[in-house]
């Protein structure tokens, strides 16, 4: 018996790294899993059936149940096929973990529109499309009188909630996913669906190029194993997390923390009546506010 016994989960981007660890851990805890991965490179180029199939083989070898899916999660029809595959293969869907992502890092002054669009497409559209189809399935079940105890878990990033130079595209997408989780949680709770996001830190092929102050230290590498992230995601996917929704959770082997987003800081109940008066009102508030906190080592 595991904490996700009998549940059916989809994990996107599950061919390696964090997604692979999530799929394996969910299966070890009793879930039947649709392992989605397009099989492309870190930058999103190419495709292969190999990564998803390999993870399915690992799950089956451990005594679990899984099927592979290689649809593009940012393609609306492909995402619909993936959700339907879970229902056809296992009779239902309880959990959707949106993990698929790519990197095309570049300083803003050098970034191309193609690099911007590719990252936004995979991360944001690649979450919207599966969530849209899964939400429709759960809404129809609810309207038919069936009870849901469903979970959506989105993958944000510390780069998105704190900021990291060289990642305006990636950070903007990940910040968007944190906001997506909060809003979707408010909309889907009526159907028995919780929506949360994680901001993970782990060593994967997407972190191999990090250097300087962001390069992993030898003494912390064990704490940056994707398994630490998978543990938290698997708990969020299970029945014991049902009362929590609209949260963003930082997770790694170094810490687990609840990230608290935008909130109103220093303010004035006397808004300036003209442009000339703005400085006298706003400048003291800016001086009293906490400065932006960029992602650091």
Name the nearest CA neighbour of 102 among 60, 46, 44, 154: 44
- For the chain, give me the number of helices (H) and strands (E)? 9, 8
For residue 287, pLDDT beyond 60:
yes
250 lies in the same domain as 272 = no
197 lies in the same domain as 138 = yes
pLDDT at 90: 98
Within a domain: 180:
yes
CATH number at residue 111: 3.40.50.720
Eight-state DSSP code of residue 68: E
Reported as a single tens digit per residue, the pLDDT across 188-225 is 999 999 999 999 986 655 555 554 445 556 666 666 68
CA dist list (Å): 160 to 71, 112, 199, 229, 250: 26, 19, 8, 17, 12
pLDDT at 206: 54
Q: What span, in angstroms and rounded, lies between the C-alpha atoms of 258 and 178?
A: 12
163 lies in the same domain as 125 = yes
252 lies in the same domain as 276 = no
Reported as a single tens digit per residue, the pLDDT across 124-141 is 999 999 999 999 999 999
31 lies in the same domain as 122 = yes
Within a domain: 192:
yes
pLDDT at 269: 94
Within a domain: 2:
no
219 lies in the same domain as 284 = no
* 8 Å CB contact between 2 and 27: no
pLDDT band at 46 (very low <50, low <70, confident <90, very high): low
How many other β-carbons are positioned within 10 Å of the β-carbon of residue 161? 22
pLDDT at 143: 97
207 lies in the same domain as 252 = yes
Q: What span, in angstroms and rounded, lies between the C-alpha atoms of 78 and 98?
A: 14
Within a domain: 3:
no
Which of these ranges, 33-37, 54-58, 62-66, 198-202, has the smallest mean pLDDT? 198-202
Report, as an integer, the average pLDDT of 22-30.
98
107 lies in the same domain as 35 = yes
Within a domain: 1:
no
Reported as a single tens digit per residue, the pLDDT across 61-103 is 999 999 999 999 999 999 999 999 999 999 999 999 999 999 8
pLDDT at 85: 98
Q: Which helix (H) or strand (E) holds 142?
A: helix 126-143
149 lies in the same domain as 209 = yes
Q: What span, in angstroms and rounded, lies between the C-alpha atoms of 15 and 20?
A: 5
Within a domain: 178:
yes
- Three-state DSSP at 10 gives strand
Which amino acids are annotated catalytic?
170
147 lies in the same domain as 108 = yes
Average pLDDT, the chain: 91
Q: What span, in angstroms and rounded, lies between the C-alpha atoms of 91 and 202?
A: 33
For residue 261, pLDDT beyond 90:
no
65 lies in the same domain as 164 = yes
* 8 Å CB contact between 253 and 225: yes
Reported as a single tens digit per residue, the pLDDT across 129-180 is 999 999 999 999 999 999 999 999 999 998 888 888 899 999 999 999 999 9
Report, as an integer, the average pLDDT of 109-114.
96
* 196-229 b/e (C-beta count within 10 Å ≥ 16 → b): bbbbbbbbbebbeeeeeeeebeeeeeebbbbebb
Eight-state DSSP code of residue 256: E
Q: How many domains does the chain have?
A: 2
273 lies in the same domain as 161 = no
Provide the domain limits for residue 247: 8-259
Q: What span, in angstroms and rounded, lies between the C-alpha atoms of 77 and 88?
A: 16
pLDDT at 222: 65
């Amino acid at each position: 018996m595991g904490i996700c016994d009998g549940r059916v989960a989809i994990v996107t981007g599950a061919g390696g790294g964090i997604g692979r660890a999530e799929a394996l851990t969910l299966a070890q805890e009793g879930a039947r899993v649709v392992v989605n991965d397009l099989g492309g490179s870190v930058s999103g180029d190419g495709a292969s059936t190999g990564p998803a199939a390999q993870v399915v083989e690992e799950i089956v070898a451990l005594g679990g149940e899984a099927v592979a899916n290689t649809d593009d999660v940012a393609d609306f029809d492909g995402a619909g096929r993936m959700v339907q595959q879970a229902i056809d293969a296992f009779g239902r869907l309880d959990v959707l973990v949106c993990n698929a992502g790519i990197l095309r890092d570049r300083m803003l002054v050098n970034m191309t529109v193609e690099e911007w669009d590719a990252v936004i497409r995979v991360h944001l559209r690649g979450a919207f499309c599966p969530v849209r189809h899964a939400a429709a399935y759960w809404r129809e079940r609810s309207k038919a009188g069936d009870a849901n105890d469903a979970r959506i878990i989105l993958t944000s990033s510390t780069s998105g909630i704190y900021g990291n130079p060289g990642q305006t595209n990636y950070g903007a997408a990940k910040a968007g996913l944190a906001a997506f989780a909060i809003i979707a949680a408010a909309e889907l709770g009526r159907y028995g669906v919780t929506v949360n996001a994680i901001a993970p830190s782990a060593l994967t092929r997407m972190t191999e190029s990090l250097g300087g102050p962001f390069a992993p230290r030898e003494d912390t590498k064990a704490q940056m194993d994707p398994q630490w992230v998978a543990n938290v995601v698997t708990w969020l996917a299970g029945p014991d997390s049902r009362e929590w929704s609209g949260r963003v959770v930082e997770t790694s082997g170094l810490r687990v923390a609840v990230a608290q987003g935008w909130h109103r800081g220093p303010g004035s109940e006397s808004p300036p009546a003209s442009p000339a008066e703005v400085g006298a009102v706003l400048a003291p508030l800016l001086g009293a506010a906490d400065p932006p906190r960029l992602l650091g080592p």
